[in-house]
Amino acid sequence: MVGCTFCSRLPKVLQNELAYTVYDINPVSPGHALIIPYRHVERIFDVTPLEYKAMYDLMLEMEALLQKELSPDGYNLWANCGKTAGQLVMHAHLHLIPRYKNQGIHIMEHMQGNVD
């Protein structure tokens, strides 16, 4: 879709036939990644079961990569659906956010500036 950041050529970390991953340009923590379907749909609820499976497969690959490179202590996985929920780019995507002991961030506080 013209004008969509996620439909443009972004530097991909991992990809498969239906989806890809990139690092978030405004990361909550080191290694914060986005998992995005190639097909432009606005909400995660709009992806097909095959697209969701492709995204799930990439989530597992990305977790293994992050575990090897950064050794996080945990993860948050989330999707913002709609502007009121904090979605800035209206193209479905999942956030894979590595968490580290003593990190001291609160994800919801980080997101509040995005919500009306």
Domain that holds residue 51: 7-114
Cite the active site residues.
93
Q: What is the pLDDT of residues 20-67, one digit of tens each?
A: 999 999 898 999 999 999 999 999 999 999 999 999 999 999 999 999
Asked if residue 20 is part of any domain, the answer here is: yes
Radius of gyration for the alpha carbons in the chain, expressed in angstroms and rounded: 14
Residue type, 82: G
* 2 is a domain residue: no
Residue 49 lies in a domain: yes
What is the number of domains present in the chain?
1
Q: Return the closest-CA partner of residue 74 out of 90, 52, 96.
A: 96
pTM of the model: 0.89
With the C-alpha atoms ordered 68, 72, 75, 81, is the resulting torsion angle positive or negative?
Answer: negative
**Does 1 reside within a domain?**
no
Q: Which residues pair with 37 in a beta bridge?
A: 19
Q: Rounded distance, CA 36 to CA 94, Å?
A: 7
Q: Is residue 34 part of a domain?
A: yes
Identify the CATH number of the domain in which residue 99 sits.
3.30.428.10
